[in-house]
Amino acid sequence: MAARYAQDKDVLFYGLNCDEDEALVAPYLEEEKPKTLTLFADGLERLLRVDSFPTTVILDRTGKIAFRSNGFDPDTVDKVLTEAVERVLHAPALPPAAAAANP
């Protein structure tokens, strides 16, 4: 999925590690060698209300959650995520004043 949008400057993929023990992150990254940038997200799981793994969140240009998925179906994940990314990419942009008024 990340490779499909690698040249699109409007799409960024991050893996977020929410492990309570930050010392476990480096060994995990060494073993798994993820293809996307992975960040230690201390506290982000509370902000985004992550209660299952994996959780996929797509933010729109204003930072609002435009799509959320808890878990995934390996048979449909590519189609579902591609449709969600495309929907966000092609959504009309709000004028700056309207975006500021709709946080």
Q: Where are the alpha helices (DSSP H) in the chain?
A: 25-32, 44-47, 77-89, 96-101
**According to the model, what pLDDT value does residue 48 have?**
86
Domain containing 28 equals 3-101
Q: Which burial class, exposed, middle or buried, applies to 56 when counting CB atoms under 10 A from its CB (0-12, 13-18, 19+)?
A: middle
Which amino acid belongs to residue 72? Answer: F
Total of domains in the chain: 1
Q: For position 41, which CATH number holds?
A: 3.40.30.10
Q: Count other C-beta atoms under 10 Å from residue 85's C-beta.
A: 20
Strands 37-40 and 14-17: parallel
Mean pLDDT by 10 residues, the chain (103 residues): 92 86 85 86 84 90 93 94 96 67 58
**According to the model, what pLDDT value does residue 76 have?**
96
**According to the model, what pLDDT value does residue 93 have?**
75
State how far the Cα of 101 lies from the Cα of 60, in Å rounded to an integer. 16
